[in-house]
Structure 1
Amino acid sequence: MKKSLVALAALAVAGVASAQSSVTLFGVVDAAVSGYSTKSNLYYTNPFAVPFGVPGSLKRSQTALSNSGYNSSRLGFRGTEDLGGGLAASFWLEAPITNDDGKTGAASFSRRSTVSLSGGFGEIRLGRDYTATFWNDTVFDPFGTVGVGANAIFRTNLNLASGHGGTPNGAAGSDSYVRTSNAVAYFLPPNLGGFYGQFQYALHENVKSNEVIGSPSKKGRYIGGRFGYANGPLDVAAAYGIDTKDSLTDLTVAGKDRLKTFNLGASYDFGPVKLFGELSQVKDAYNLSQSVTLLGIPYVLTQGVSNKYNGALIGATIPVGPGLIRASYSAVKYKPDSAITPFNFYNNGSSRASQFAVGYVHNLSKRTALYATLSRITIKDGQNNAGIMGITTSGGAPGYGTIAGQVYAPKSATGYDFGIRHAF
């Protein structure tokens, strides 16, 4: 009898423990027929050196079965354990998948891999996660920085973080624009009357050594924070972050490179329409070096340079029956530091890009939707900056190129997505 009671008690305890823990399998499968086209014009740095027969414009197009046109395709696991006393432990593992070809899926949890402890004090979260500054770029974009409708601010910042900003010191790219790894983050508790926020520090994890001047490199380090207020129809937030792009092989004073991002975003839901807006500025700050010889003695002179990328976005979503109309206009202007503006008749030292996107989502159920998106990008003086030039390729388009060594500067790009999304 006693053994039976002990067994029943053990089962009861196991049942309580099970009730206090949960693990969820979730995901999104999104596929679309997508089309991209770009037009680039020949950039005449020296019109007398252009080979005979080289066309004045370059047109490229591509049609593909893509993924992640409305929501990013993914596969994930998340779980929470109630520790009692208001404490909870959680984990989140999320992998990208390419369901259009099936080649990627659950091989790495590069979208998110975190473990956290939360309570009345807030949440401490460790691992790989969205950066504080990226949140505003995606939350206040009607297209959520996904598909051909992803805004111009997102496209430019992605190019800069990838090392395509045209920085003279050639600093390597970074992995800390959308997400950052090796991060320690703190989130405010959710019971602050609508106020929310986070602070994030990502360790660079580079080895310190006296073998190389300037060691260790800070490449991989990210420091950022976000603070906002959401109550009823209003949501507004500001964020600031510093992303270090120093190259491990260039650790001298001239190798320092930082992306300093500030953005302010807001949305307001009027019911018939929800409006979105964002202002953004990214400073690509680095040291420009120049070797000189004075009285037979070589010197290296360095000068701090800070190029700016000023961005703006306005957008809206309009519910229509079971569907949703989405639209946005975004623009980015490159403003170089006066120290590096070249004296070139064909180069005024600046570049700019603008983008208009419109789309419609038709919800067949809470989990399944059909969608269509059309986007148009226009670029002015794209040859002056690789960060601006590259936005025609960040959405999947074939972009610009060269013919017989002649550079073509991108002028415009058009893209469309027609697809289906299923979430589980």
Structure 2
Amino acid sequence: MKKSLIALAALAVASVASAQSSVTLFGVVDASISGVSNKADLVVANPLALINNPFALYGVPGSAKTSKTGLNNSAYNSSRIGFRGTEDLGGGLAAGFWLEGALANDEGASGGSTAFSNATTGQFNRRSTVSLSGGFGEIRLGRDYKPTFWNLTVFDPFGTNGSGTSLIQKASGLETSNVRAGNTVGYFLPPNLGGFYGQVQYAFSEQLKANDGLQGAVNNNSRGGRYVGGRFGYANGPLDVAVAYSEQNNSSSYLAGTDNKAKDLNVGASYDFGVVKLYGIAGTIKNKVDYTGSINAPAFNPSTKMEGYQLGLTAPIGAGLIRASYGHVKLKVDQQPLLFPTFFAPAYEDPKADQFALGYVYNLSKRTALYATGTYVKNKNGAAYTAGSGNIDAGFAAPANGYAYRPKTSIGYDFGVRHAF
């Protein structure tokens, strides 16, 4: 009986394979020893407490360090396993599917996901799409990368992996999950446009709707989760340049008439000189609460804006590749101006940070590589970005009564091996 079942299963697999133009099993297994060390300097959080008790800081260290070291995954390429296939439907039309899931191979588990739109920890949380393509381009349905994320990963020498991930990506928290979206409908331009390429994407919020008199009680977040974005570029020879824009409704309140929106704009470019390939990214994300009516709108409605850029390069040396980048970000928060700044209420300064990253990849074969990355982050004015890598990350020292530790520097590293199949 068991032999019959095995034979039937093999026949079924063969039948499926024969109906497809191609079916491919693929994946990446990436593991590294990673570490991060953060330093914060002592600052006075409540000067009045020192007046009342001048010895409040006696014995308190002038700086505090936090660190973490361990086995990591995805510090060079994201660990994954997937299946993809296409079927020729004739007349230039093709159907395709792509099912790809994350791997936490350092612990032997499937990877999770924190994507905002229909977040999932399922087996195919990286990508799960079905598509139709032809001379008109491609229509793709399902869970996929957001167009605005592509520039951040394509034009980053470190590919948004490991400690060297660009600061722009690390500071993207103003948009709830800027990497992927579920419940999407996407359209891609055909590849025969003389180097021009592009895509648009819409993600359904899939929120429950009701009559106006019931909406606030049934689902007050009736507009939260909706996403629309696009990316258009030109690639020809050594040059590649693209611009992307999106708007996402992070959350909404039907009763208050508010929408917490994130508007994301970035541009990236690269040019390959042969001996060195140069990269550049500039981006901004603006977060603000929009009011549908003037009754609830406050007199002062602040917005938060992240601005950043990165310059980078890769240089092949024999079987190896040098990678390097410098990045800067600033977080601009609208503040009501102080007419008379004092020691007890100093003028506000925008948090900002700089990052330097250097790495080397040595290819043992086309599928296997050894790599090393080192990253240094310098924070100012309360910024708290780290050089952590994946699950090997650490926060800065927490504040205590009368004093606090202000984040200053972070150093991170990855030493690992990547195998692709």
Matched, 1:325 2:322: yes
AA at the equivalent of 1:27: G
Is residue 115 from structure 1 mapped to residue 130 from structure 2 by the alignment?
Answer: yes
Q: Which residue of 2 aligns with 1:139?
A: 154
Partner of 2:237: 232
1:98-141 CA-partner distances (Å, limit 9, x unpaired)? 11111226942111111110000000001111101011111000
1:293 corresponds to which residue?
none
2:10 aligns with none
Where does residue 64 of structure 1 map in the other structure? Answer: 70
Task: Give SS of 1:136's match.
Answer: helix
Q: Quote the residue 2:406 is aligned against.
A: 409
Do structure 1's residue 179 and structure 2's residue 166 form an aligned pair? no
Q: Give the secondary structure class of the aligned counterpart of 2:97.
A: strand
User: 1:49, CA displacement in angstroms?
Assistant: 2.7
Of residues 174, 190, 193, the one that matches 1:160 is 174
Aligned to 1:263: 266
Q: TM-score when scaled to structure 1?
A: 0.84
CA gap of 1:116–1:272, structure 2 versus 1, over 3 A, is same
Maintained 8 Å contact 2:310/2:326 = yes
Give the 3-state SS of the residue equivalent to 2:108 in structure 1. coil
Normalising to structure 2: TM-score of the pair? 0.84
Q: What code does the residue aligned with 2:199 have?
A: Q
Distance verdict in 2 for CA 1:152–1:299, change over 3 Å: closer
Q: Is the contact between residue 375 and residue 387 of structure 2 (CA under 8 Å) also seen in structure 1?
A: no
Match of 1:284 in 2: 287
Structure 2: which amino acid aligns with 1:73? S
1:47 positional shift:
3.0
Q: 1:41 to 1:358 in 2, by over 3 A?
A: same
Q: Distance in 2 between matches of 1:329 and 1:350?
A: 20
| 1:54/1:404 contact within 8 Å kept | no
Contact 2:373 2:415 in 1 (8 A): yes
Q: Deviations over 1:55-77 (max 9, x none)?
A: 33210111111011100000111
Is the 1:54–1:403 contact (alpha carbons within 8 Å) kept by the matching residues of 2?
no
Q: How many pairs are equivalent?
A: 383
The Cα RMSD (Å) is 2.7
Distance 1:17 1:312, change over 3 A: closer
In structure 2, C-alpha distance between the alignment counterparts of 1:403 and 1:281, rounded to whole Å: 30
Q: 1:307 aligns with which of 304, 309, 312?
A: 304
Alpha-carbon deviation of 1:389?
Answer: 2.2
| Conservation of the 8 A alpha-carbon contact between 1:311 and 1:332 | yes
More divergent stretch after superposition (14-23 vs 114-123): 14-23
Secondary structure, counterpart of 1:264 in structure 2? strand
User: Equivalent residue for 1:219?
Assistant: 224
2:207 partner amino acid: N
State the distance in 1 between where 2:405 and 2:240 align: 42
Shift of 1:349: 3.6
The 5 A counterparts of 1:385-396 are: 388-391=383-386, 396=392
The separation in 1 between residues aligned to 2:266 and 2:327, in whole angstroms, is 14
Q: What secondary structure is seen at the aligned counterpart in 2 of 1:389?
A: coil
Match of 1:84 among 80, 87, 90: 90
Shift of 1:41: 2.0
Structure 2, gaps ≥5 residues long: 1-13, 51-55, 112-120
Aligned to 1:364: 364
Q: Which residue in the other structure is 1:34 paired with?
A: 34
Bigger mean CA deviation after superposition, 211-220 or 338-347: 338-347
In structure 2, do the counterparts of structure 1 residues 221 and 26 end up closer, same or farther at CA, with 3 Å as the change threshold? Answer: same
**Cα pair distance change 1:18/1:310, threshold 3 Å:** same
Answer with 331-340 or 321-330: which moved more: 331-340
Structure 1 gaps, min length 5: 1-13, 162-173, 289-297, 383-387
Q: Distance in 2 between matches of 1:407 and 1:128?
A: 42
**Aligned equivalents of 2:338 and 2:251: distance in 1?**
23
Residues 96 and 347 (structure 1 numbering): CA distance in 2 closer, same or farther, change over 3 Å?
Answer: farther
Q: Per-residue displacement from partner, 1:204-226 (whole Å, max 9, x unpaired)?
A: 00111343449553221111000
What SS does the aligned partner of 2:148 have?
Answer: helix
* Paired letter, 1:60: T
Cα deviation, 1:160-189, whole Å, max 9, x if unaligned, reads 23xxxxxxxxxxxx23x1011101000000
CA distance in 1: counterparts of 2:49 and 2:317, whole angstroms? 56
Partner secondary structure for residue 251 of structure 2: coil
